[in-house]
């Protein structure tokens, strides 16, 4: 070969037959497929099947335990020392412990009155209740509105304090930590935490506090979230199905078996001494609530979940807000697992099986495996096996196991059983972002500490008729801009990939996976074009 002549590692002809560029690409594919692609894809299938089995066993275990809890476990009032606190004629309200209520806020224009009003309406002696509104708002107009609302309730005799920070560091954890430093808080034995969109019932403290008073080993009483806008659109229906399983099964099982679960960050009552003993609030991850719960558990404290005790809250009704929320909820636990794994292993204050539960079940299976196998297996590996027919996937992997897991997940929300198929497809789409967020957390990549406050709409979702008419051309430009911003290219790309695999399977396949692939393609495209939050 003469100097300067380009080197071509792909032959232009084989046995006298010449190939163009498409032919050369096909030849290259055949050359690398047998020694590289097929073994790698087979290994991926084995790993995904193993992860699917781990998730299946975990779901089956929780199903068995929740049935046993519902049938044979005594109610919390029977399992724990529980004595309602009553006012004494002679002592008055002095037998009630002093409780601090913290309400962290950040530009909560639509909902700030909800939580403040609910907190001020709690049925607890006013001289034994201290309410802190921890306002981190950056909008001076909103800050003034929240301050005026606090002053309005204070004029009615409510012990409510409006509090701001000079430096906003640590997001919500920083605000809660700063609030506990105030001198008047030292007399408070317990602290109840409610996010800005939460409205507890009036008897919330009267039902929760007696468990902490009568059981000194308890650090936390967690209530269940109830969603006021669950039926607003298809997106909120999907979220309700996922979160109902979390509250009705996962939290209940953790509380009933190991007296441990992740604090949900709101609608919970903590023992202040337990927070201090665990090292207080830390801002090293975006799941400071889970961080505190794990640290407190490793020091021997126990938690109690009360499914009958509920607090109303709001689900994000836009895809953008939901995606940011899911990023935080998936990236944070993975990053916390990375930071605390060896601390959990070396801990000597808790039983061996509780450490196994925290490491394997709570973190590894639920926070890592559940996200990754859902996306990698059903949106990457399975479609690729269609293009590489040399790789077989046992039918129980892509069919039987996910079917059973889906049925087990549906027990939390029976009223949405008719949406089960779409919920499964939607969860597969969201698994793309959850997997990405999980990997960012595990490897501490760029967005590991990203925290975008979830947008709340409050009653504004029902005020669509209040929009004033404007110039038609301006509206058209605005609509085009919004349509472009709603595009999610990653979902659109995977939708196209699955469509190609579905077409190939329809023509050449033998397992009829194209039915699933076309349905999954449609779901990816719906999310890709940003319409899931608008479907009612």
Please give the positions annotated as active site.
136, 289
Nearest in space to 119 (alpha carbons), one of 196, 56, 52: 196
The rounded distance, in Å, linking the Cα atoms of 536 and 533 is 8
Nearest in space to 329 (alpha carbons), one of 362, 290, 295, 292: 290
Q: List helix spans (H) across 73-111.
A: 76-79
User: DSSP readout, 331-386?
Assistant: HHHHHHHHHHHHHHHH--SS-HHHHHIIIIIIIIIIIIIHHHHHHIIIIIIHHHHH
The rounded distance, in Å, linking the Cα atoms of 491 and 433 is 9
Nearest in space to 170 (alpha carbons), one of 65, 80, 286: 286
For the chain, how many helices (H) and strands (E)? 20, 10
SS3 annotation, 131-170: EEEEECCCCHHHHHHHHHHHHHHHCCCCCEEEECCCCCCC
Report helix, strand or coil for 130: strand
The rounded distance, in Å, linking the Cα atoms of 220 and 260 is 10
In sequence order, what are the beta bridge partners of 268? 193, 222
For residue 464, the surrounding DSSP H or E stretch is none
Q: How far apart are the first and last CA of the chain?
A: 68
Residue in the structure block whose two tokens are 């992860």? 51
């Amino acid at each position: 070969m003469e100097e300067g002549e380009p080197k071509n590692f792909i032959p232009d002809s084989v046995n006298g037959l010449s190939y163009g560029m498409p032919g050369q690409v096909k030849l290259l594919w055949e050359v690398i497929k047998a020694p590289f692609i097929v073994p790698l894809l087979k290994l991926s299938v084995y790993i995904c099947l193993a992860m699917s089995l781990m998730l299946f066993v975990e779901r089956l275990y929780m199903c068995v335990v929740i049935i046993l809890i519902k049938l044979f476990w005594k109610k919390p009032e029977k399992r724990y020392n529980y004595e309602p606190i009553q006012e004494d004629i002679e002592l008055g309200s002095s037998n009630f412990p002093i409780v601090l209520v913290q309400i962290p806020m950040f530009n909560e224009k639509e909902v700030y009155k909800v939580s403040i009003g609910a907190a001020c309406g709690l049925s607890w002696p006013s001289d034994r209740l201290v309410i802190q509104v921890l306002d981190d708002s950056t909008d001076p107009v909103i800050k003034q509105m929240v301050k005026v609302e606090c002053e309005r309730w204070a004029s009615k005799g409510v012990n409510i304090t409006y509090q701001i920070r000079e430096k906003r560091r640590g997001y919500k954890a920083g605000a809660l930590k700063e609030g506990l430093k105030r001198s008047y808080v030292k007399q408070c034995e317990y602290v109840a935490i409610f996010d800005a969109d939460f409205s507890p019932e009036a008897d919330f403290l009267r039902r929760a506090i007696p468990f902490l008073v009568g059981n000194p080993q308890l650090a936390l009483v967690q209530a269940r979230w109830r969603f006021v806008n669950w039926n607003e659109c298809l997106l909120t229906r999907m979220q309700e199905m996922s979160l109902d399983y979390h509250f009705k099964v996962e939290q209940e099982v953790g509380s009933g078996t190991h007296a441990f679960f992740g604090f949900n960050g709101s609608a919970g009552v903590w023992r202040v001494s337990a927070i201090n003993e665990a090292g207080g609030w830390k801002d090293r991850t975006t799941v400071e609530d889970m961080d505190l719960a794990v640290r407190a558990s490793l020091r021997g404290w126990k938690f109690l979940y009360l499914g009958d005790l509920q607090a109303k809250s709001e689900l994000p009704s836009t895809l953008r807000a939901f995606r940011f929320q899911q990023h935080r909820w998936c990236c944070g636990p993975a990053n916390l697992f990375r930071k605390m794994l060896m601390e959990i292993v070396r801990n000597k204050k808790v039983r061996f099986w509780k450490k196994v539960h925290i490491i394997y079940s709570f973190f590894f299976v639920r926070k890592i495996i559940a996200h990754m196998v859902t996306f990698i297996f059903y949106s990457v590996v399975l479609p690729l096996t269609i293009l590489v027919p040399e790789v077989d996937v046992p039918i129980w992997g892509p069919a039987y196991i996910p079917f059973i897991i889906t049925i087990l997940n549906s027990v939390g929300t029976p009223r949405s059983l008719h949406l089960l198929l779409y919920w499964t497809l939607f969860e597969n789409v969201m698994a793309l972002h959850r997997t990405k967020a999980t990997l960012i957390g595990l490897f501490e990549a760029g967005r590991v500490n990203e925290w975008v406050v979830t947008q709340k709409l409050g009653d504004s979702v029902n005020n669509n008729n209040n929009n004033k008419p404007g110039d038609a051309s301006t509206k058209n430009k605005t609509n085009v801009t919004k349509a472009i911003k709603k595009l999610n290219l990653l979902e659109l790309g995977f939708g196209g990939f699955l469509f190609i695999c579905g077409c190939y399977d329809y023509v050449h396949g033998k397992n009829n996976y194209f039915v699933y692939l076309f349905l999954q393609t449609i779901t990816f495209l719906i999310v890709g074009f940003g319409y899931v939050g608008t479907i009612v």
